[in-house]
């Protein structure tokens, strides 16, 4: 039992109020130094869920993931968009350096279909990043997705409404987003592994609507390398 407890503490899954813990869990840099500093130099955790909580889409939340999308697609990893509120605008993504051959857009029907698709995307070895916009998730469903994320060791970001901030969540990282002045994105760290929550920062980013929230003539989709058998 002591060995198990030591492992949980080393992975920062047991919060120790008296001191922060430097987690050894794998992570991906956000691409924004000011945010990485607030996250203890960890960035987006791999093999775990992250939540971005916001009241309405289009406030700059996709720019928050843009450096990660660029890096992963160039490395040959697939980026899944699951039930986004609008169709991604492919030319703008390409202009920003995202490899469109590695971008997959999926729309599902019903909650069961959504969960099945998300879970399988998380478990796939080709996945680098999954961005998903669920309608609602029960606590047991979030735990199920957490297990799938651990199995796939990739990055998963769930975009949810701010009202879910009051609910408990097994997600390793929870960020509350709101628009700031001068096209800034204000970020409040609600939860992160191994240390205190409550950190705040603002990122300067151009909120260009053409990045992903414009109607496109066709959906960007695969297949990706190795998918045909």
Average pLDDT over residues 158-164: 95
The predicted pLDDT at position 19 comes to 46
CA distance 90 to 71: 17
Residue 223 has pLDDT above 70, yes or no: no
Q: What is the pTM of this model?
A: 0.81
Instruction: Give the class (CATH, top level) of 26-211.
Output: alpha beta
pLDDT in tens, 14-46: 444 444 445 557 899 999 999 998 888 889 999
Question: β-pairing, 200-204 with 184-192?
Answer: antiparallel
Tell me how far the alpha carbon of residue 154 is from its chain's centroid: 10
With a CB cutoff of 8 Å and minimum separation 6, the contacts of 89 are 210, 211, 212, 213, 214, 215, 216
Tell me how far the alpha carbon of residue 81 is from its chain's centroid: 11
Average pLDDT taken over every residue of the chain: 81
The proportion of the chain whose per-residue pLDDT surpasses 90, expressed as a percent, equals 50
- Domain segments of the chain as ranges: 26-211
Average pLDDT over residues 65-79: 96
pLDDT in tens, 99-137: 999 999 999 988 999 999 999 999 999 999 999 999 888
The predicted pLDDT at position 3 comes to 56
């Amino acid at each position: 039992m002591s060995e198990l407890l030591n492992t949980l503490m080393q992975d920062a899954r047991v919060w120790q109020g008296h001191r922060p813990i430097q987690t050894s869990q794998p992570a991906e840099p956000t691409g924004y130094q000011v945010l990485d500093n607030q996250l203890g130099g960890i960035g987006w955790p791999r093999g775990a869920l992250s939540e971005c909580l916001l009241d309405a889409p289009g406030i700059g939340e996709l720019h928050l993931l843009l450096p990660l999308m660029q890096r992963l697609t160039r490395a040959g990893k697939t980026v899944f968009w699951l039930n986004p509120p609008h169709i991604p605008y492919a030319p703008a993504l390409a202009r920003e350096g995202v490899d469109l051959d590695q971008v997959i857009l999926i729309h599902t029907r019903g909650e069961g279909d959504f969960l099945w698709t998300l879970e399988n995307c998380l478990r796939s070895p080709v996945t680098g990043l999954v961005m998903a916009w669920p309608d609602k998730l029960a606590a047991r469903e979030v735990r199920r997705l957490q297990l799938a994320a651990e199995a796939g060791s990739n990055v998963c970001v769930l975009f949810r409404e701010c009202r879910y901030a009051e609910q408990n969540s097994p997600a390793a990282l929870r960020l509350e987003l709101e628009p700031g002045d001068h096209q800034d994105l204000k970020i409040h760290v609600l939860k992160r592994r191994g240390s205190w929550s409550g950190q705040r920062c603002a990122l300067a980013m151009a909120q260009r609507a053409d990045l992903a929230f414009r109607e496109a003539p066709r959906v960007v989709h695969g297949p990706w390398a190795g998918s045909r058998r």
